[in-house]
Amino acid sequence: MVSEKGLRLTSPWKIAGIAAILVLGIVGAGALFIYFGAYDVAADVPHTKLVYWLLDTARDRSVAVRAEDVHVPPSLGEPVRISAGAGLYNEMCSSCHLAPGMAKTEISQGLYPAAPELSRGTDLTPGEEFWIIKHGIKMSGMAAWGKTHNDTLIWDMVAFLRKLPGLSPAQYLALVKSAPEDHDQMMKMMNMEGMDQEDHK
Ligand code: HEC
């Protein structure tokens, strides 16, 4: 049997009231935490383990879910794609992600989150690499290259990234040398030839 008092204690209004006070308390504490600048955004002070795990997991899941619909072209193994990608990588990416035989640059040492050394390999799928290069990653130095580069060029970079792990410094330099001289010219050629038709997510 439930006593009259028991009923009153567990009345829905009381529970709703306590829940509302708790939620307001948490939101208020969060607002104060932000207002007083308690979280250190300095790039030379690492995140706490919990914050790092949360951000890392959120990024990985965000990319994985969005990359599911990316259609991977079958031509990633073609040598022309790989050498074009090598030229683009050397020009635009190596300052942060480094390359075989390349000494650490100033920017690569100061970035946080750090730019992974892509020659060490990643566990990303080609679709995930494409998505990251095209859209970039918020609150990191990784830009959205899709704003200025068509999908064809981005797939060329993915084709090269698949080959990068395991390249010796000499093989890397040879691939870069085999690329078209200047990537602006390459983009113009592609637009003229109507080669920018590969449109992916
Ligand atoms: C200004 C520095 C900078 C440049 C230039 C840059 N990136 Fe990045 N990139 C980053 C940072 C920092 C991250 C890590 C972001 C994170 O962990 O949230 C990253 C992440 C990535 C990743 C995901 C790696 C992984 O294992 O999670 C790929 C792939 C990548 N970049 C490719 C490229 C390519 C290709 C280019 C050239 C077109 C490029 N990046 C240019 C800073 C840069």
- Report whether 161 contacts 121 (CB < 8 A): no
Can you give the pLDDT at residue 10? 75
Nearest CA residue ID for atom 36, ligand 1: 93
| Ligand 1 midpoint to CA 163 (Å) | 17
Can you give the pLDDT at residue 187? 66
**Among 63, 76, 97, 109, which is best to mutate for testing ligand 1, by the most ligand atoms less than 8 A from CB?**
97
User: Is the CB of 105 within 6 Å of ligand 1?
Assistant: no
User: Is the CB of 159 within 6 Å of ligand 1?
Assistant: no
Q: Got the DSSP string for 34-87? A: HHTT-S---TTSPPPHHHHHHHHHHHHHHHHHHHTTPPPPGGGG-HHHHHHHHH
Task: Output DSSP code: residue 93.
Answer: T
* 49-192 placed in CATH 1.25.10: no
| Ligand 1 midpoint to CA 12 (Å) | 51
The radius of gyration of the chain from alpha carbons, rounded to an integer in Å, stands at 25
Can you give the pLDDT at residue 163? 97
**Among 52, 60, 96, which is best to mutate for testing ligand 1, by the most ligand atoms less than 8 A from CB?**
96
| Ligand 1 midpoint to CA 123 (Å) | 14
For 144-153, write each residue's pLDDT tens digit: 999 999 999 9
User: Is the CB of 157 within 6 Å of ligand 1?
Assistant: yes
Can you give the pLDDT at residue 180? 86
Residues 94, 2: Cα–Cα separation, whole Å: 72
The one-digit pLDDT tens for each residue of the chain (201 residues) are 455 555 566 788 999 999 999 999 999 999 999 999 999 999 999 999 999 999 999 999 999 999 999 999 999 999 999 999 999 999 999 999 999 999 999 999 999 999 999 999 999 999 999 999 999 999 999 999 999 999 999 999 999 999 999 999 999 999 999 998 766 666 666 655 544 445 666
| Ligand 1 midpoint to CA 132 (Å) | 8
Can you give the pLDDT at residue 188? 65
| Ligand 1 midpoint to CA 109 (Å) | 14
Asked whether the CA dihedral 135, 138, 142, 143 is positive or negative, the reply is: positive
Nearest CA residue ID for atom 1, ligand 1: 141
Residues 200, 124: Cα–Cα separation, whole Å: 18
